[in-house]
A and B are shown apart, each in its own frame.
Chain A
């Protein structure tokens, strides 16, 4: 995505190069923020905050990590932080959505949680499940890249992703069946 050469120049204090780096990544950053936070306004905020962070922390990036995982780690952190601050007013829905084990997936989701389309369904996922989905589908990250970005064990990444898809299919399936079930 971004040429290593430009990143190096940016790290060595070339301001133009750094600005160019930011321009090249802004869409990727925004896209992640948009799908984690669910609206344009918050996504703009979070993306800008992330870019500013990247600008002032560029010297901390180490080449041994992929640049794309490094920047996604920054934006997901910013988003999750924002999400939490917001959540204080949003009630405890989150915890009710948390799924305790694969076996219980069907039972755990309350019938009120139906969604009419995939975006709405994503918004109903717990934050870390959603984040994994966003990195997998919007950033085309592998299990490993997600694991690096989020500092989560590989198995946790898989389990979040699998549960998320299970939840999504359940949410949409319920809607197609007419919403309320049992």
Chain B
């Protein structure tokens, strides 16, 4: 047994995770290996130090300190309920939602306009955006409120997933004051993604395959919009279809390429010399719904969907054939 494997055993032993046989293997090796004996001692030392960390307690009662805020929350809840009963809330929140989201969308649309390159197209684009507003706008808001904490390079990936794809966003959203608004938005986002095959992400993704580009000017105006929509809803903010997405350490870049025979490919390259680390074929029936670098710049989170189910895969860029999960 190699020392590296033995260290793995030591680690698990510290957590009481070894069976009898494994314990024997560990002890057998350690008895004959000086450096492993030393390492085991050091790890045991660390573990016992960690166990003895002071069990700190708050200097004053935290609950006492937040009681006034908790009362405020109760007040707001009561007011919301009353407002809801008289039907005001819905009205107000819808208005708010629209206003917020239009600003957001307008901001987000700018790169797309640059991409089109003509101001006339930009005007049309904005008209399209406005006409299309109802459901897409809600999505924007849903995403906004959901992603508040977590759209950065979060390593806690499933959480991201939930936040963006589920109706259950509320669990982690932030200010209570925003609650009605985001709930509303979530509902719309939810009902929309419930449309089955016509969900925003799929449309957006198909457009990438080039079909939409060939089918006339109207489509080609809409296409960047859809792509934009897809980017903002389903991909991390930092994904750029032209340049791919950089790893947190800036050394690698991941991109998607459409394969002529159908399906897509994930390509990971080194930034400095463009050397391709690997390409990974994504099966035809799967739509990529999300790509994200984990913080260590070693793993890419790939989320795909076949229209019914979502699949999460963590790809080790140095060992892409063996997904870690």
Contact = CB atoms under 8 A, between A and B. Distances in A.
A30 B62 contact: yes
Contact of A84 (B4, B61, B152, B248): B152
A23 B67 CA distance: 11
Interface in B309-324: 314, 318, 324
Contact of B157 (A40, A60, A151, A161): A151
Contacts of B43: 165-166, 169
Given A102-B4, A155-B325, A169-B42, A95 B248 contact: yes
Interface of B is mostly: helix
Contacts of A27: 57-58
A126 B159 CA distance: 19
B55 A31 contact: yes
Contacts of A30: 56-58, 62
A128 interface: yes
Contacts of A126: 295-296
Contacts of B15: 136, 143, 161
Contacts of A94: 295
Contacts, number: 143
B242 interface: no
B295 A137 contact: no
A40 B56 CA distance: 10
B120 interface: no
Contacts of B61: 23, 26
B178 to A, nearest CB: 11
Contacts of B7: 102, 166
Given A48-B65, A151-B158, A101 B298 contact: yes
Interface residues of A, number: 59
Given A48-B62, A48-B65, A162-B8, A56 B158 contact: no
A23 B12 CA distance: 35
Contacts of B56: 30-31, 34-35
B155 interface: yes
A23 B63 contact: yes
B58 A172 contact: no
Given A126-B295, A136-B15, A137-B51, A165 B69 contact: no
Nearest to B14: A165
Interface in B2-26: 4, 7-8, 11-12, 14-15, 17
Interface centre among B53, B168, B170 (most CB of A within 10 A): B53
B296 A51 contact: no
Given A15-B74, A52-B66, A40 B296 contact: no
Given A118-B50, A155-B324, A60 B295 contact: no
A123 interface: no
Given A138-B53, A172-B46, A48 B156 contact: no
B296 A52 contact: no
A153 B325 contact: yes
Nearest to B52: A118
A138 B55 contact: yes
A72 to B, nearest CB: 12
A56 B152 CA distance: 25
B59 interface: yes
Interface centre among B66, B170, B176, B324 (most CB of A within 10 A): B66
Given A51-B62, A55-B70, A60-B170, 8 more contacts: A15-B74, A19-B70, A52-B69, A98-B296, A100-B296, A118-B49, A162-B11, A173-B42
18 contacts: A30-B57, A30-B58, A47-B62, A84-B152, A98-B249, A98-B297, A102-B7, A137-B53, A143-B17, A151-B158, A152-B157, A158-B12, A161-B15, A162-B11, A165-B46, A166-B43, A169-B46, A173-B42
Interface of A: 15, 19, 22-23, 26-27, 29-31, 34-35, 40, 43-44, 47-48, 51-52, 55-57, 60, 74, 77, 80-81, 84, 94-95, 98-103, 118-119, 126, 128, 133, 136-138, 143, 150-153, 155-156, 158, 161-162, 165-166, 168-169, 172-173
